[in-house]
Chains A and B, each alone.
Chain A
Amino acid sequence: MIELKSATKTVICIGSGGVGKTTFASTLAIGQACQGRRVLVLTIDPSLRLAQALGIPKDGDVHDITDPFIREKGGQLFGCILDHQKVFQEFILSAAGHRLADQDIKKLTENRLYHQLSTHLAGSQEFTSLYKLNQFVKSNQYDLVVLDTPPAQHTWQFLRAPEKLSQLFNEGIAQWFRSGHQQDVGFFKKIVNVGTVQVLKALEVLTGAEFIKELSLFFKAIQNWQQPLQQQVNDCHKILTSQQTEFVLVSALDSSRILESQKISNEIVQEGYNLTTLVINRCYQWGDQDLRTSNPKVGEILQYYRKIEQNLTALSSEKRFQRLSVYKAPEVSQNDWHVKKLYEVYSQISVLR
C-alpha cells in the first residue's frame, strides 16, 4: 500500500518508458478508490489489455469505471484515456473560438504547420496532459486525480512543456509573422526593426520563402492565444508546485534505472516540486532461501537484482531526498489484469524505507 498525505489532491506518476508506469498509475488509483475515495485516473496510451481490464473506452472522455468490488469498499473510480489531438483542438476552440470566424478556424486546421504541431510536436502531448489535469483538478469533482505522464526521454521535457508551448505564442514571435502578410507590399516591409528583418532574412536563407509563408499564416490564425495560454501555464505551474500535489517516481529493477532515477529526482527537487515517493516496480519478493541457491548462474542474477534494489533504496538516504519514501511493487502477470487483481497487487506494495 502507498501512503499519501490526506490533503493530497493530485498524484503525478513520472519515470521513463518501460517501467510499467501506466499500470502502476492504475493500480494506485484502484487502491485509493478502495479506501473510499472518489478517484480519477488519467492515462496515456495504455495497452489494449489494460484498457479492457479497467473498462475504459479509448474515446478521450471520462468514464465511471467503478466496479462492484470498489463500490463495496465505498469508493468510486473514473478513468480517461487522453486523446491529445482532441484536447488540443478543444484548447484552441476555447482559447480563440469566440474570436475566430468559422472560415479562420477551417484555415487554421488546414494549415500544415498546425497539423504537424498538433500531431508531432514534442511537447504538445505533455501540454495536453497538463491542460486536462488542470481542468479536472479545478472542477473539484474528485478527491484525487492520478496522472500518468507521457513517455518522455527526459522528465524535464514534461515539466517544461507548458512554457515551451507558450514561447511559441508569445507576443514577440507572433507579432513578427502577423505583421507583414496582410499586405502585398512585401513581406518584411512593415517591420521597422532592422534586427528583425535580418533575422527573418536569415531564416529565409535557411528554409526558403515558402516555409516563412506557412509560418506567417499560422501565426496570424492564432493571434489571440497568448493570453489563455499564459493562463494555462500559470495554472499548471500552480498545480505542479502545490503542496497538495505529490510526485511519484516509478522505477524498475534494472541497472540503467539507478543513474536515471537519481537524475530525475534531482531535477524534480531542484524545480521545487514535491517528490515524495519512489516506487521500484515489477520486483519480486526474494527470501534467504533464494539467496542460498547452489546454482551459480541463478545466484549471480539474484545478487545483481538485489544490488540494484539496494542502490535505488539508497537514494532516500541522500540528504536532499530525505522525505522520500521507497516502496517496492510486485510484477503483475499480463494475463491477470483485472481490477481485483490490481487491488491485490496494490496491497502487496511494501515499504522499503
Chain B
Amino acid sequence: MATQKIHFFTGKGGVGKSTLAASFAYEIARNSAASNILLTELSERPFYQDFLQVPTQGYTPVRIEKLSKNLALSLWSPQECLREYALHLLKIESLYKLFFENPVSRSLIQVAPGLQELAILGKVTSSARQHGPAMNFDQIVIDAYSTGHFLSLLRAPKAMSEVIQFGPMGEQSKSIDRWIRNPDFCQIHLVCLPELFPVTETIELYQQLVQEFGLVPKVYLNKYLDLNISDLQDLSESTQNYFKNTIQIQNESVDLLKQSHVRFQKMKLQPTLDSLQLVDEISSQLESGVV
C-alpha cells in the first residue's frame, strides 16, 4: 500500500464529532470508486451501531453496504487492540490465553498508564509501519476521544519511549511516534461549536498540535445557525433575543478564528432527527467544501 492515510476526529463532547466523522468517511467512500475506507470508533461500547442502524459493530470490520460498498465499520477497544497485537507477537495461542484470560493481567492492562493509548495507536499505524496484522484500507477515519484525552493519546508514544527506552516496547513507541507526526499520513480534524469558550479551546488545541506535532488540523464550525436578524421578524421578543444572542456569538466565534489565522469550514445545522439523512446531508456539505 503506497499512501495510506488516517484521519482523527476530535472535539469536546457533544459537538458532533462522531456524526462528522461518519459523514466524512461516507463522503470519501462514495466519491472514490476504487478506495477502501474504514470508519472506526475508539470505544468499548458502540455508538454507530444504533446511529447508523447496523446489525453489528465489533473489532472485525463489517461492510456497511447500505451506505457504500467501499465503507466498513469497526469498534476498537484498547483491550482488543492489545490482544491482537499480543497474539501477533507471542504467537503461541495458549500463552496468549494464559495472559489475557487472567483477571489480574486484565485489570493491569486497564490501569497501566499509557498502555491502552499505545495499543490503539499501534493498531492505527500498524499497516503503515508494516508491523502487526495487515489491514487493507486506503484510509482510516477514527472517531477518537474528546479533546483532553485525545492529547494524551497522541502524547503516549513519546512519553512511553522516554520511560521505556529499550526493548520491544521502546522501539515500537518510537516508531509509532514518528508515524503520527507525519503530516502526509496523519490528518487531524477538530470539530467545535460556534461558541466562544469552545472556539477559544479549539484555537489553543490547534496551535498546540501545530507546535508539538507539526500537524495542521482541519477545523469545522459545527451546528452553525444559518440565520440573519431579518429572518427573526415575526418571532416573540424573547425568542428573537435568544437567536440574536446566538447569532452574535457565532459572529464573534468566526472573528476569533480568523484573528488566529485558523482556516475552518462552517457546517450548517441540519434540522433533522433522522441520523442517516443527517449523515447524507453533512457529507454533501463536506463535499462542497466551502472554507
Q: Say whether A254 contacts B14, CB under 8 Å.
A: yes
Q: Which of A154, A285, A301 contacts B227 (CB 8 A)?
A: A301
Q: Say whether A195 contacts B19, CB under 8 Å.
A: no
B89 at the interface (CB under 8 A from A): yes
B190 to chain A, nearest CB (A): 14
Q: Say whether A256 contacts B152, CB under 8 Å.
A: no
State the CA gap A285–B111 with chains docked (Å): 46
Determine which residue in B112, B159, B196, B234 has the highest number of CB atoms from chain A within 10 A of its CB, and name it.
Answer: B112
B93 at the interface (CB under 8 A from A): no
- Write the B126-166 contact mask toward A (1 if CB under 8 angstroms, else 0): 00000000000000000001101100100000010001111
| B-chain residues with CB within 8 Å of residue A207 when the two chains form the complex | 115, 164, 167-169
State the CA gap A287–B242 with chains docked (Å): 13
State the CA gap A172–B103 with chains docked (Å): 9
On whether A284 and B242 interact (CB within 8 A), knowing A153-B145, A295-B231, the answer reads yes
On whether A284 and B159 interact (CB within 8 A), knowing A17-B146, A199-B104, A297-B227, the answer reads no
B284 at the interface (CB under 8 A from A): no
- Binding site of B, secondary structure by majority: helix, strand, loop or mixed? helix
A16 at the interface (CB under 8 A from B): yes
| B-chain residues with CB within 8 Å of residue A304 when the two chains form the complex | 271-273
State the CA gap A351–B18 with chains docked (Å): 31
B210 at the interface (CB under 8 A from A): no
Q: Which of B149, B159, B245 contacts A122 (CB 8 A)?
A: B149
B61 at the interface (CB under 8 A from A): no
B143 to chain A, nearest CB (A): 11
B266 at the interface (CB under 8 A from A): no
Q: Say whether A289 contacts B167, CB under 8 Å.
A: no
B269 at the interface (CB under 8 A from A): yes
A269 at the interface (CB under 8 A from B): no
On whether A199 and B98 interact (CB within 8 A), knowing A18-B13, A205-B90, A304-B272, the answer reads yes
A171 to chain B, nearest CB (A): 10
State the CA gap A335–B268 with chains docked (Å): 25
On whether A285 and B90 interact (CB within 8 A), knowing A121-B111, A211-B163, A255-B273, the answer reads no
Q: Say whether A16 contacts B231, CB under 8 Å.
A: no
Determine which residue in A117, A120, A165, A286 has the highest number of CB atoms from chain B within 10 A of its CB, and name it.
Answer: A120
Q: Say whether B231 contacts A210, CB under 8 Å.
A: no
State the CA gap A304–B268 with chains docked (Å): 14
Q: Say whether B13 contacts A17, CB under 8 Å.
A: yes
On whether A172 and B166 interact (CB within 8 A), knowing A252-B14, A295-B233, the answer reads no
State the CA gap A203–B245 with chains docked (Å): 56
State the CA gap A208–B121 with chains docked (Å): 18
A259 at the interface (CB under 8 A from B): yes
State the CA gap A50–B288 with chains docked (Å): 39
B43 at the interface (CB under 8 A from A): yes
A124 to chain B, nearest CB (A): 9
Q: In the complex, which residues 182-235 of chain B have their Cβ closer than 8 Å to any Cβ of chain A?
A: 193, 196-198, 223, 225-227, 231-235
- Write the B58-97 contact mask toward A (1 if CB under 8 angstroms, else 0): 0000000000000000000000000001100110000110
State the CA gap A170–B110 with chains docked (Å): 13
A183 at the interface (CB under 8 A from B): no
A47 to B, closest residue via Cβ? B197
A sample of 8 more A-B contacts (CB under 8 A), given A195-B102, A211-B169, is: A18-B12, A18-B193, A164-B110, A167-B111, A176-B104, A214-B164, A297-B226, A304-B271
Which residues of A line the B interface, CB within 8 A?
16-19, 47, 112-113, 116-117, 120-123, 151, 153-154, 164-165, 167-168, 170, 172-173, 176, 195, 198-199, 202-203, 205-211, 214-215, 252, 254-259, 284-287, 289-290, 292-295, 297-298, 300-304, 307-308, 311, 331, 333-334
Rank and list the top 8 A-B pairs by shortest CB-CB distance, nearest first. Answer: A208-B167, A17-B13, A18-B14, A304-B271, A116-B113, A167-B107, A202-B99, A284-B242
Which residues of B line the A interface, CB within 8 A?
12-16, 18-19, 43-45, 50-51, 85-86, 89-90, 95-96, 98-99, 102-105, 107-108, 110-115, 145-146, 148-149, 152, 159, 163-170, 193, 196-198, 223, 225-227, 231-236, 238-239, 242-243, 245, 269, 271-273, 278
Q: List 18 A-B contacts (CB under 8 A).
A: A116-B113, A120-B113, A120-B152, A121-B113, A173-B104, A198-B98, A202-B96, A207-B115, A210-B163, A210-B167, A211-B164, A215-B112, A256-B16, A292-B234, A304-B271, A307-B273, A311-B273, A333-B245
